[in-house]
Amino acid sequence: MSIRFENVRKAFGSKVVLEDVGFEVGSGECFFIIGASGVGKSVLIKHLIGLLRPDGGSIYLDGEEVSRLTEKEFFSVRKKCAMVFQNSTLFDSMTCAENVALPLRKHKRLGAKAALKEALERLDTVHMREFANAYPPELGDGMQKRVAIARALTLDPRYVLFDEPTTSLDPVSARRVDQMIRELCDEVGVTSIVVSHDLRSIFGIADRICMLYKGHVRMLGTPEDFQTTDDPVVQQFINGRAEGPMEV
């Protein structure tokens, strides 16, 4: 079981965002994609679940090419590959429990009552059960993120994509989310791809890291490889220095 990107290319109009991007993610791995804002990290992971389509190249999930599937064929991919979005993306018109129940109703075809019952159990795992009947705007960012994670995990996916999961969270909530991601990999065997800028997350829980720069893979390796590399662009990024060769 693995994820493989091969020579993926994506442009929006005349702006080429990704050019010949390729790497593989192993089963149970906690894989981080890093890079400056606007470099195409979120764009890249959205290709895996069909929210964007590549202009060139191929993407494989469990050995099956998914880059050419239709919207309907992607339904089965989205059952085993969930995504936690940067903005939580809970639906304001639904309660937290209804938000979590939605994938159960659509993917598993559960009835409203059964889906809500299971949603409550899922909310319990992220310590949000007492807020089951609250509407998302009534909750803080960290709480919304936890509900979004519960929703993403309702279908017991084998792969989870996290798009900047700790952005806008306080340090304690951020480390809790890190811990949750690591536990998913270690205890449940979930393969996680995490898009992040958060250096503490990156060097705290990543198994391997891929750095994107100017649409290409600049470096691929373990956190130790990144800390010991001589590449001035990588060093500038991971040390968060304003001065250096990196063009943003």
Partner 1 sequence: MNVVSATGLAVIDVTRDIRDILRMGARTLRFVVRGRKDRRMIVEQMHQIGNKSVFFITVTMGFIGMILVFQSALQALRIVPDLSLLGATYGEILIRDLGASIGAMMLATRVGAGIAAEIGSMVVTEQVDALRMCSADPVEYLVVPRFLASMVMTFCLLVWACVVAYLSGMVTAYVVFDVNFLTFANFMLVDAGDVIVGLTKCLAYGAAIPIVSAQRGLATFGGSEGVGWATTSAVVSSSLAVIVLQFFISAVGYLVFPG
DSSP-assigned states of every residue in 226-247: HHH---HHHHHHHHT-SSSS--
Rg (CA), the chain: 18
Q: Which of 36, 66, 82, 132 binds partner 1 (CB under 8 A)?
A: 82
Amino acid at the residue 185: C
Binding mask 111-150 for partner 1 (x = CB under 8 A): ----------------------------------------
**Cβ closer to partner 1: 106 or 129?**
106
Binding mask 45-74 for partner 1 (x = CB under 8 A): -x--xxx-------------------x---
CB of 48 to partner 1, least distance (A): 11
Amino acid at the residue 85: F
Q: From CA 67, how far away is CA 53, in angstroms rounded?
A: 7
Instruction: List, in sequence order, every beta strand (DSSP E) within 56-158.
Output: 56-61, 64-65, 81-84
Q: Which stretch binds partner 1 (CB under 8 A): 99-107, 113-121, 188-196, 229-237?
A: 99-107
Question: Tokens 């309702």 sit at which residue?
Answer: 154
List Cα–Cα distances, 62 to 27, 56, 116, in angstroms: 9, 20, 31
Interface size with partner 1, residues (CB under 8 A): 23
Binding site for partner 1 (CB under 8 A): 46, 49-51, 71, 75, 78-79, 82-83, 85-87, 89-91, 93, 102-103, 106-107, 151-152
